[in-house]
Amino acid sequence: MLNIGILNPRKPKKAKYVECLIDSGAIYSVINGKILRALGIRPTRTKTLTLANGDHMVRKLGDAIFQYGGERAASPVIFGEEGDATLIGVVSLEALGVVFDPIRRQLLPAQMIVAPAPPATKR
């Protein structure tokens, strides 16, 4: 479990901290929709998601600021409904600059690699 701060990108002064499972198989994070709405975060789109067992469900998505270990980063977030697990997915983890090491079962700093631009060609 990980204690993550959730903030509204438009009004980041107020944070709500939630306990999240780390799900390295999940693309997006899932936070209870009531918590997101209480922070003033509104859904901006709807997506059909595929569960691990192959079933599908439709959920609303929005954007939130995630806070962990002194870092803040914007990430898409699924508006969780009753029965949904609260979890942090890989997009949010990577935005925060961390990766999950499944062997040691801990978060490690992500190695940020940037490729240089190719040299400009002369005409």
pTM value is: 0.88
**pLDDT score for 89:** 96
Can you tell me the distance from the alpha carbon of 73 to that of 88, in angstroms, rounded to the nearest whole number?
A: 13
DSSP category for residue 34: H
H-helix segments, 19-110: 33-38, 90-95
Two structure tokens written together for 44 = 């901006």
Q: Tell me the per-residue pLDDT of 51-94, one tens digit each, with 9 for 90 and over.
A: 888 999 999 999 999 999 999 999 999 999 999 999 999 999 99
Can you tell me the distance from the alpha carbon of 47 to that of 51, in angstroms, rounded to the nearest whole number?
A: 13
Give the number of other CB atoms < 10 A from CB of residue 9.
15
* In the predicted structure, residue 24 carries a pLDDT above the cut 80: yes
